[in-house]
Amino acid sequence: MKNSREFQNFYFENDVVRQVVIALPRHKVAHFTLNVYDNMAEGEEPMVVDGGNGDRSDWQGQWDHVKKFLERAGPFTHPDFEPSTESLQFLMDTCKILVIGAGGLGCELLKDLALSGFRHIHVVDMDTIDISNLNRQFLFRPKDVGRPKAEVAADFVNDRVLGCNVVPHFKKIQDLDESFYRQFHIVVCGLDSVVARRWMNGMLLSLLIYEDGVLDPSSIIPLIDGGTEGFKGNARVILPGMTACIDCTLELYPPQINFPMCTIASMPRLPEHCVEYVRILLWPKEKPFGDGEALDGDDPKHIQWVYQKSLDRAAEFSITGVTYRLTQGVVKRIIPAVASTNAVIAAACATEVFKIATSAYVPLNNYMVFNDVDGLYTYTFEAERKENCSACSQVPQDLQFLPSAKLQEVLDYLTENASLQMKSPAITTTLDGKNKTLYLQTVASIEERTRPNLSKTLKELGLVDGQELAVADVTTPQTVLFKLNFIS
């Protein structure tokens, strides 16, 4: 008791504080209290005695920093929180976290989780290490270039943080199935692709169990998602089936703008247009490194060739500004990146993982953006669920077309609509009791066979009003159901 009273005295004896509190009208301070602490637990919990260090730590005091939160109550804790030594035990022994990505965010996440007490961590990444990763992906060294990121990252963390067991998976997320994902308590993503995010989102949604239309909370695997670009970033908490999912807020990820073909082909104005001309038109024509040899943005010889030809193209039109760096940036669609932004966003994500795993504090609800171009700016808001979200609403999506519309129009809608943004949708339906593929792009032979359907009308294809179309796409592990409504 002595400490709190003593401290209270000093709090008010601090001249600055006293001056401020005196200056505030009473009711304003009380109002402040009520608003902020509305949701807080009533009364204070008698404190559990802070005993020894537990028998799991490897040296005296290893987890002291973490324990101060898990073994003490406070007014900001989650209503369900019970201070105990069990939280730390759960964190260390039982809790399984999946980290998606071992790149800029992934490396930071692994470190943050390991130093927060998590011991059972899996990490998935399909990439190998590149020299341009080394300015921020600090678990990698020049000697590791070419090796799988997941494996090198796991080795490093396991070596540096005693007791931590990071298990790597040098795979695409799509190569793992639901039995894999189901084992985790929390999934945290540090991806650089919207497509991959949406897939992960879809996978966790597919694991939800509904009984008589009611969601079983124990089937929810929280998804913490982080993203960065230069000096900007965001962190969000998704409780699949309960809060806004990735697809609910697809407009927050506007589609990448590509330059119009006529600009690239005949009216270049910027150095970027010249590079795109070489990449899209000249390379397939001249096949500089042999038939069937695709342009590899990571091959310096390829980039050098593109650079030379881009200079030539630019010279033709008196365009200045083509550099090797610009050329590579356009070909690889490079997004600038630094260590600091990744550190900030990963830290925010890891804090959320800790909060959710321990119920020690109310989690972020549910989206935070960060920008440190001019000072430091954060903005936190609650992203809302979309009623008819194509991923999480379980409602068949509406498609409105004239019967005389061509299948191509439907395809265009699926790819161009801001809320759908599909990449290469495959459309199937049931006709005369049989499953029929209307169009599929990803397998050459089927693409060729079904291509004529694109110029047929929906009526010609035998589709009727209310027809259900099943659409598969790389953006989701499950097919999306659409309902065709004929308009007149």
Partner 1 sequence: RQRTMTDHKTSKEQKYDRQLRLWGDHGQEGLENAHVCLLNATATGTEILKNLVLPGIGAFTIVDGHKVSGEDVGNNFFLTSSSIGKNRAQAATELLQELNSDVSGNFVEESPDKLLDNDPEFFHRFSLVIGVQLPESTCLRLGSVLWDAGVPFLVCRTYGLIGYMRLIVKEHTVIESHPDNALEDLRLDQPFTELKHHIESYDLDSMEKKDHSHTPWIIVVAKYLEKWYSEHNSQLPKNYKEKEAFRQLIREGILTNENGTPEDEENFEEAIKNVNTALNPTKVPSATEDIFNAEQCENITSQSPSFWVMAHGVRDFVRNEGNGKLPVRGTIPDMIADSDKFIKLQNVYRDKAMKDAAVVSKHVEALLQSFGKPPESISEQEIKLFCKNAAFLRVVRCRSLAEEYSMDTFNKDEITSCMDSADSEMVLYLMLRSVDRFYQQHSRYPGQKSYQKNLETLNHNGNSANVIFISSSCRYGAAEPHTVAAFLGGSAAQEAIKIITHQFVPFNNTFLYNAMSQTSATFQL
Residues 264-323 that bind partner 1 (CB under 8 A): 267-270, 300, 304, 307-308, 311-312, 315, 317-319
Cβ(233)–Cβ(261) below 8 Å: no
Q: Closer to partner 1 at the Cβ: 72 or 171?
A: 72
Give the residue, chosen from 280, 339, 431, 454, that forms a contact with partner 1 under the rule CB under 8 A: 339
Cβ(224)–Cβ(246) below 8 Å: no
Distance CA(194)–CA(188), nearest Å, equals 15
Distance CA(447)–CA(290), nearest Å, equals 26
What is the smallest separation between the CB atom of 123 and partner 1, expressed in angstroms?
16
| Segment contacting partner 1 by CB under 8 A, of 202-210, 262-270, 390-398, 419-427 | 262-270
When asked if residue 462 is in the footprint of partner 1 (CB under 8 A), the reply is no
Q: Which residues of 413-452 are buried (b: 16+ CB within 10 A; e: fewer)?
A: bbeeeeebbbebbbbbbeeeeeeebbbbbeeeeeeeebee
| Nearest alpha-carbon partner for 355 in 47, 81, 42 | 81
Enumerate residues 24-43 that contact partner 1 by CB under 8 A. 24, 26-33, 35-37, 40, 43
Cβ(328)–Cβ(297) below 8 Å: yes
Distance CA(155)–CA(167), nearest Å, equals 9
When asked if residue 368 is in the footprint of partner 1 (CB under 8 A), the reply is yes
What is the smallest separation between the CB atom of 357 and partner 1, expressed in angstroms?
12
User: Half-sphere exposure (CA, 13 Å, Cβ side) for 134?
Assistant: 11
Q: Closer to partner 1 at the Cβ: 124 or 164?
A: 164
Amino acid symbol at 419: S
**Using alpha carbons only, how large is the chain's radius of gyration in Å?**
27
Q: Closer to partner 1 at the Cβ: 21 or 209?
A: 21
**Cis before 417? omega within 30:** no
Q: Closer to partner 1 at the Cβ: 376 or 395?
A: 376
Active site residues: 262
What is the smallest separation between the CB atom of 327 and partner 1, expressed in angstroms?
10
Phi, psi of 236 (to 5 degrees): -140, 155
Q: Which residues of 109-118 are buried (b: 16+ CB within 10 A; e: fewer)?
A: bbbbbbbbbb
| Segment contacting partner 1 by CB under 8 A, of 92-100, 240-248, 369-377, 444-452 | 369-377
Q: Closer to partner 1 at the Cβ: 169 or 309?
A: 309
Phi, psi of 371 (to 5 degrees): -155, 120
Using DSSP, state whether 283 is helix, strand or coil.
Answer: helix
Distance CA(469)–CA(463), nearest Å, equals 9
When asked if residue 378 is in the footprint of partner 1 (CB under 8 A), the reply is yes
Q: Torsion over CA of 357, 363, 368 and 372, rounded to 10 degrees?
A: -70
Amino acid symbol at 25: P
The strand pairing partners of 98, in sequence order, are 122, 187
The strand pairing partners of 368, in sequence order, are 235, 380
CA distances to 18, 133, 135, 142 from 146, rounded to whole Å, are 60, 11, 16, 9
Enumerate residues 135-164 that contact partner 1 by CB under 8 A. 135-136, 138, 142, 160-162
Q: Closer to partner 1 at the Cβ: 174 or 258?
A: 258
| Segment contacting partner 1 by CB under 8 A, of 282-290, 360-368, 458-466, 476-484 | 360-368
What is the smallest separation between the CB atom of 279 and partner 1, expressed in angstroms?
18
When asked if residue 250 is in the footprint of partner 1 (CB under 8 A), the reply is no
Give the residue, chosen from 209, 261, 376, 464, that forms a contact with partner 1 under the rule CB under 8 A: 376
Q: Closer to partner 1 at the Cβ: 52 or 466?
A: 52
| Segment contacting partner 1 by CB under 8 A, of 15-23, 240-248, 388-396, 433-441 | 15-23
Using DSSP, state whether 36 is helix, strand or coil.
Answer: helix
Residues in the interface with partner 1 (CB under 8 A) total 123
Give the residue, chosen from 166, 189, 344, 484, that forms a contact with partner 1 under the rule CB under 8 A: 344
What is the smallest separation between the CB atom of 236 and partner 1, expressed in angstroms?
10
Enumerate residues 169-188 that contact partner 1 by CB under 8 A. none
* Pairing label, strands 120-124, 434-439: unpaired
When asked if residue 261 is in the footprint of partner 1 (CB under 8 A), the reply is no
Give the residue, chosen from 167, 207, 242, 338, that forms a contact with partner 1 under the rule CB under 8 A: 338
| Segment contacting partner 1 by CB under 8 A, of 88-96, 179-187, 211-219, 344-352 | 344-352
Q: Closer to partner 1 at the Cβ: 295 or 364?
A: 364
What is the smallest separation between the CB atom of 150 and partner 1, expressed in angstroms?
19
When asked if residue 91 is in the footprint of partner 1 (CB under 8 A), the reply is no
Enumerate residues 50-79 that contact partner 1 by CB under 8 A. 50, 57-66, 68-69, 72-76
| Segment contacting partner 1 by CB under 8 A, of 203-211, 357-365, 386-394, 428-436 | 357-365
User: Half-sphere exposure (CA, 13 Å, Cβ side) for 469?
Assistant: 27
What is the smallest separation between the CB atom of 29 and partner 1, expressed in angstroms?
4
Q: Closer to partner 1 at the Cβ: 214 or 373?
A: 373
When asked if residue 227 is in the footprint of partner 1 (CB under 8 A), the reply is no
What is the smallest separation between the CB atom of 436 and partner 1, expressed in angstroms?
37
Distance CA(477)–CA(216), nearest Å, equals 21
